[in-house]
Each structure stands twice: as structure tokens, then as C-alpha cells.
A and B are shown apart, each in its own frame.
Chain A
Amino acid sequence: MTPELLEPIAPAPPASPLAVAILGSGRMAEVHAASLAANPRFGRLVAVQGRNAAAAKKLAKAHGARATSDLAAVLSDPHVQAVVVATPTLTHRSLVLAALDAGKHVLVEKPLALSTAEAGEIVRAAEAQDRVVMVAHCVRWFHEVQALLGKLEQIGRPRVARASRVAGNPGGWYIDEQQSGGICFDLMVHDFDLLLWWFGAVERVHALATTRDAAHPEMYAQVVLRHTSGVLSYVEGSWLHPDGFATRVELAGAEGLLRFEMPETKPLRFVPLASKRIQKQGAEIPESPFRRSPYELQMEAFLAAALCGAPAPVGARAGFEAVAVAEAARASIASGQPCRPAVYAAPRARKGARS
């Protein structure tokens, strides 16, 4: 399979932009609100719904939208055409299903859900509805990743891929396995998605994990994937790197090598005096200056798909597959042996129904 570059879709400007509500008011909600603001022809933020009333109000006010804590009111509002689910992963299943049930298009933060059982429910609901469900695997839109993809054929037949994504302890719900699924689901799922996209289905997963903190046993993990295509992949994920966010991708083929490292690709490095350094809380968001940010391009793709009725570039099935690899990695960590990722089983046609 040859993955294709994500060409920006540029439909004719619609009569009116898509009315979007954001569920959640945390860091990613802010990023999605800014990305909507950067795509004014295709979308506009109309509401922010969140449990944290002050944060929701602040975010809504900054974008001229309304704030509410009432989920049912947002979903039953016929003017809201799409929702962005930017809440802890634990809530994804119920929020996506409710939004689909209300006829909304959905952009849901990664990972799609906490298990393949949950993700499968979402895929079934998405395929039963004529609505876009897109999973925000934002790394696909990273300029570094697009640059690699554009040269993939130059390295000949791909053989071994290495991906690394390391950061400090994000704290909060991210490291609570009940809410996030832990590092395999929350962090490494980015790379699982990239590798699935580039090298196809994974037939075997083996993983080892460790921690500095007995309460959170999976803070660092190393995962080996065997793709059905014969490509081997290695993924490192860490929340034990206090020196900050870094990511590397290396693709070795029969005739060449492709790689990048962040932050080495960042063109600016500002070094404030130690006393001026701000200790940021929560997950770090890698940023390099571009006219259009990866998140903005991702939002454009979602809005364009919803407006055109086109399939989303990262649909619920892709979200399921990444979750399946994360789930198999955790099962392997627990068992000490390789595991096979779950495969999505389409619901069987009902008796008497024609296929």
C-alpha cells in the first residue's frame, strides 16, 4: 500500500461555515478553538461545553461563542452541526455516540476510545450514520511527517521503522490509566497510527514497560510491531524525560533512510533566564512556526469532509486500528508475550436483510 499525501481539500466556500461546538475546555480544546478561528470560511465556534465553568467561559468568550455546562442543550441544538470531543478519553465513547445520535459530525481527540470494544461501538455507529467521524491523530499533519511521506518511495522497500516520543510527566488525568489508558493509549497511539497508515495492518505486538512510580506502572514503554506487510516497527514512549518533549522518526528501506528529529527541526530556540522560565502543566504540545499549523490543517480536513460529505482522512476505522495496537501492547506488557491486535468485526447483517 502507498499512503498518500494529505492534499488540502479546498471546496468552494459554503454559503455559511459549519457551526461547531467544542466539548471540553482544556488544552486541546484551546488548540481546536484556535484552529477553527484559523479556518473562518469553513467553520465557526458557536459553543463551548465543559464541566469547568470558568475555563469554558474564558475559552468561549475569547472566540465569541457561548459557554454552557449543559451537554444535552448543545446536542439538541439544531444549529450546532458538528462537535469536537476534547475531553479525557474515558468520556469519548459516550460523547461520540451521543453526538452521532444527535446527527452531528464529530472530530474526536485521539485515542478514539479506551478499548476496541468501545471503539467498535463507535465504528458501527459512525458507519450507520451519514456523518463524518474523524479522529484527531494530529501527527499525520505535522510538516515533518508530510516531508517524510513525500520522499518515502526514495528509500525503496521499507524494512524497519523507529519512532520515539518522549516527554516529562504530564500529570493529571493523562497518567491515570482509568481515564487515559496510560502511555500506550495516550502518547504512543500517535506513532501506532502513523505506522499503521504507512505500513498497514499489524499482526503481532510485543511490549515492555517500566515506571519510577508504583502507582503508575506504565510510564515508559518500548513496543515492537510486526506488520502483515513484513515491515518491523519499534516505538518508544516516555513520560520519564524531564528535559522536555522530543520525537524522532526513522524509516529504513532497502535503498535508503529517512528521518527527522524534533526539536532539532525547530528553527527558533529561545533561552530565557532561569528565573523567567515558566513551568508548564499538562501535556506538551510541540510547535514549530509555520503559516498553517498542523492542527489548523487537521481542522480544515475535518470541516471540508463534513461540508462535502466526503470521508474523513482519519476515520473511525483508523482510530479503531490504533486503539487495537495500544490494547495489544498493554496485553503484552501484562502477559510478557506477544499479542495480536483485535480486528474490527462488522456487524452481521440481520436475518432476512439483503447484503
Chain B
Amino acid sequence: MTRIGIYSSAHIHAGAYAAALRALPGVEFAGVCDPEAKRGKAAAKAFGARYAASPEQLFDLGLDGVIICSENVHHRGDAERALAAGLGVLCEKPLATKPADALAMVRAAARARRPLMTAFPCRYSTPLREARRLVREGALGKVLAAQGTNRGMNPGGWFVDPELSGGGAVMDHTVHVVDVLRWILEDEVASVYAEATGASGEVEDHGLLLFRFEQGTSASLDCSWSRPGQSFPTWGDVTLSLIGEQGNLHIDAFRQHAMLYSERAKKGVQVDFADDINAGLIADFVAVLREEKIPEVDGIDGLRAVEVVDAAYRSLASARATNVRRAALGSRS
């Protein structure tokens, strides 16, 4: 039996991870802890899980691993504490708000000899895996350019509080597509140009980014919180068009849906029938904790995405295309 807990329910994805934990055979969803007790108790009740009053109480439930869904700025401290307690960690994205914090997490995992995974569920998207297979098999030849979108609704709450989130749409939505592109292209981002605007002045809620990869591929990303919350049929999207020497590949990762128009809802809604990406992520975390495999996506992947986000914010400050500063690491063990 693999025992897993969830630390903090600040991030909305905690619910999806809880459902995935419940559905997995051989897994015990041991409990939930949250520094905000009221929020944590409500989450534990909703998830049908035990509530632990402190991280120590949660860890004492005999956990093998913990899923961290706290606010972005708390990821480092929360992950370091769990790793020091000997637990494997799956951390919500972005891994951290600053490259130094993400690097410290990667090093803490290496010191503790425990797995650190970044929650990039797109790695478990069957359509995106198929896209990667086609590209790696050479169906497109060299990928010359990419056009990506990861647009969503403004999530509000702590996401728009820079003290907790570290930034707005650029912080929230850059890392997914950057990770997918790094994974598909097997290349690193060399430089970033970013433009962003903010409605309230607190954090940016719309952003457009241009990337240049080390091997020359150019790419764009719309990371805006530009989907209307009340009237739009879904939360947002992940799309990617790849322009290759031998052909183009267009991916709409959440295209596998039917539409429902019901008088009981104010808008048409998407009825997804795609393979569940969150279930794939959680199943991989469990297999890693059981030492059956190495992680599909680890802390270094999380760090690399944070380094690109850092370059995007430096570009916003300077209005220049800005080089990504990558921390030097030894080879992955």
C-alpha cells in the first residue's frame, strides 16, 4: 500500500489529485493538511479524507509521498520540509517563483535522495504524447517554429496577489507550454521576449511571449487569462502548432469533448471524454514512490520552466529580448 497525503488545498488542482488518488488501486489517500485550518477541513471533508492539524501530524500518517498544492511562494519551504522528513514530493507548478528557490528544491531532493516531481500534467496528455512521438520519429523533420496558447479564466483569489503567487498570467501559464516544448523538442529556451498588461495593476492578467530555442526554433505563447469566466464554455485551452521542415502538426490538447447545451446551465459546456491527464500524473508519482520507474517529469524540469519565467519577467522590465540564465547541474541520476 502506498500512502500519500496532500499538503495545502490552496491550489484548485488539489481536488483533481484527490479524486485521482481515490481511484488508484493500492493507494491510500491518507489525509490533508492545510495551514489555513478552515480551508483544509472543508477540503478534507470534500475529498472524504482525514484532516491533519499540522505537517508533522500529516507526515506521521506513515506517508510515502506528499502532493504540495500550496500558494506558489510557499512551495520551496513546504517541499524542503517534506523531503527532509524522507517523503517523495509532487509539487504543483510553477515549482517556485524564483530560480534560486527552484534550484534549492532540486538540491534538497538530491540530498534527501527522494523524488521531486513537478505537476506538469500535459506530459500525460495522450494527444501531446502522440505529438511528441511524431516529432521524435522525425515526421516533421526539424521543427522550425511553434505557436502555443495556454489561455484561461482569471482564477482570482491568491493567484492575483503577487505576495503569494509571485506574478499573474505569465507566472501561472507560461510553464506548461514551455515544458511541453522542451519535452517535445528536447531543446532549451535560449531567449524570451515578453509583453504583458494588468487590469488592476496588481498582477499582469494578459501576456504574449516569444521564445528562441537553442537550436533555432522560434515559438510564441499566449498565456493570458483571457477566457470570460461566466460565458465561455470551458476554463481555457492548451494548443500548439508546430511548423516543421517536412510538415505541420496542429494540436488542441482538449479537443476530445462533446458539447452540452442545457436549459439548466447558462452556457454551453464541454463534456470531456479525453484520457485523464491528472490521473496519469498521479499514477506516475505512485509508481515513482514504489521505485518502479524514474519520474516522467522531475524537479529539474520544474526549475528549467521557472528559469524561463524569470527571463520573461526580466524582459518585461527591460522591454528587450532577454537570455535565459540556466543553473549548471550535474547529470541526472
List residues of chain A with CB under 8 Å of any chain B CB: 157, 159-160, 162, 204, 206-212, 220, 222, 224, 226, 230-234, 236, 238, 240-243, 252, 254-257, 336-338
Contact = CB atoms under 8 A, between A and B. Distances in A.
Interface in B205-245: 205-208, 210, 212, 216-220, 222, 224, 226-228, 231-232, 243, 245
A210 B242 CA distance: 12
Nearest to A212: B245
Give the one of B205, B226, B319 with max A CB within 10 A: B226
Nearest to B211: A208
Nearest to B151: A252
A338 B192 CA distance: 12
A212 B228 CA distance: 38
Contacts of B210: 206-208, 222, 224
A211 B141 CA distance: 13
A208 B212 contact: yes
Contacts of B218: 208-210, 222
A336 B217 CA distance: 13
The 7 closest A-B pairs by CB, nearest first: A252-B226, A208-B218, A210-B144, A222-B220, A160-B206, A210-B145, A224-B208
B19 interface: no
Contact of A252 (B191, B206, B217): B206
Contacts of A230: 197
B270 interface: no
Nearest to A336: B321
B195 A254 contact: no
Contacts of B217: 210
Nearest to A225: B195
A248 to B, nearest CB: 11
Given A208-B145, A220-B145, A255-B228, A226 B195 contact: yes
B159 interface: no
25 contacts: A160-B197, A160-B224, A206-B210, A207-B210, A208-B218, A210-B216, A212-B144, A222-B145, A222-B219, A224-B193, A231-B197, A232-B206, A236-B147, A236-B220, A240-B248, A242-B248, A243-B248, A252-B206, A252-B224, A257-B228, A336-B321, A337-B320, A338-B193, A338-B320, A338-B321
Contacts, number: 95
A176 B58 CA distance: 67
A336 B315 CA distance: 13
A232 B147 contact: no
Interface string B63-103: 00000000000000000000000000000000000000000
B144 A232 contact: no
Instruction: Give chain B's interface secondary structure class.
Output: strand
Given A159-B197, A240-B248, A256-B231, 9 more contacts: A159-B226, A206-B195, A208-B212, A208-B218, A210-B218, A210-B243, A243-B248, A252-B226, A338-B319
B222 A234 contact: yes
Contacts of A240: 144, 243, 248
Interface string B264-276: 0000000000000
Contacts of B145: 208, 210, 220, 222
Nearest to A255: B228
A220 B144 contact: yes
Nearest to A257: B228
B199 interface: yes
A129 B113 CA distance: 79
A7 B191 CA distance: 46
A159 B231 contact: no
A204 B194 CA distance: 12
A207 B193 CA distance: 9
Nearest to A159: B206
A204 B197 CA distance: 14
A232 B198 CA distance: 11
A160 B208 contact: yes
Contacts of B232: 257
Nearest to A207: B210
B147 A222 contact: yes
Nearest to A251: B226
Contacts of A236: 147, 220
A159 B223 CA distance: 13
A164 to B, nearest CB: 8
Contacts of A207: 210
A163 to B, nearest CB: 12
A259 to B, nearest CB: 11
A162 B144 CA distance: 21
Contacts of A224: 193, 195, 208, 210, 220
A226 B199 CA distance: 15
A211 B144 contact: yes
B226 A220 contact: no
A286 B210 CA distance: 29
